[in-house]
Amino acid sequence: MSPIIRAGYVAIVGRPNVGKSTLVNNLVGTRLAAVSPKPQTSRYRILAVLHGDDFQVGLLDTPGRPAEPRIDALSRRMLRETRQALEIADLAVLVSAPRTPGDVEETLLDEIRAQDIPAIVAVNKLDTVRKGSLLPVIEAYNNLYDEFRDIVPISARTGDGLDSLLQRIIANLPEQEPLFDPSTLTDRSETFLISELIREGVFAVYGDEVPYATAVEVEKHVPQDPEHGDKDFIEASVYVERSSQRGIVVGKGGQALKDVGVRVRPLIEELLGRPVMLSLWARTRPRWRRDDRFLRMLEE
């Protein structure tokens, strides 16, 4: 008979660029989700499982909820990812910047209420403000909804407050048998995680507009390929919507795309635990953000 522990799914929700993916990565101690200073880096719901002697926490990282969502297929899928995470969650963590709640937070809170699940607020970016300035923020959240289980100031970047947040998460999960195999870290494939790391590199290297027009597909992954010195050979394509964007992605003499490879190859090697030969290509796929079939393929 399995032991009874604290176990459950936790939906991590909030605006774009409030640090949800950084929080998830730092809680599990592994880079699973793409992170960037640019908003709306996250596009997919990613499960990350944290194991302890008497708990299992299934963190559901979700795309940021924009104030004015686009109406293309990609944006609809991103909104659906958040709704579905809340539908299966036992607890919601609303991640906020250190400012009073606005329309987006109120909308997310309405969705949390509709699922009748407990909620915690994590006020992130503690390292960017004076601690005294958080008191009006905490008061505003208490006034917005007096049934929050807790409001925890944190810095996902530095780790400040994460132990306290984790303890509050565990305390608010149901007591039940374990939900996950002890070896489970995520529900995503190795190929998907590699594509996310490459996409993170794209967001880091290029300007404000181009990353949002890009998608990444890992087309080939040959572990310990003898043709490449027993390194893992990975071939991936960076898709853009217009030929003019392809030129920007490639860069003069191919330098920009090489910069992406230099940035992400060590991250992929850290993920796999093996040396990697990475080959990147830039390709044009018009209107890919409106192509449901292509978007489904990218999630595999």
Residue 132 confidence (pLDDT): 82
**SS3 of residue 173 by DSSP:** coil
What homologous superfamily is domain 190-298 in, according to CATH?
A: K homology (KH) domain (3.30.300.20)
Question: Quick one: average pLDDT of 73-77?
Answer: 88
| Span(s) in the chain for CATH 3.30.300.20 | 190-298
227-264 per-position pLDDT tens digit: 999 999 999 999 999 999 999 999 999 999 999 999 99
Where are the alpha helices (H) located in 64-222, listed in sequence order? Answer: 73-88, 103-115, 134-144, 162-171, 190-205
**CATH number assigned to the domain covering 5-176:** 3.40.50.300
What letters, b where the CB count within 10 A reaches 16 and e where it falls short, cover 24-39? bbbbbeebbbbbbeee
Residue-averaged pLDDT of the chain:
93
CA separation for the pair 219, 213 (Å, rounded)? 19
Q: What is the pTM (predicted TM-score) of this model?
A: 0.92
pLDDT-derived band at 1, boundaries 50, 70, 90: low
pLDDT band, residue 189 (cuts 50/70/90): very high
- Say which DSSP state 186 is in: B
CATH 3.40.50.300 residue window(s) in the chain: 5-176
The answer for 4, left when phi > 0, alpha when psi is -120 to 50, beta otherwise, is beta
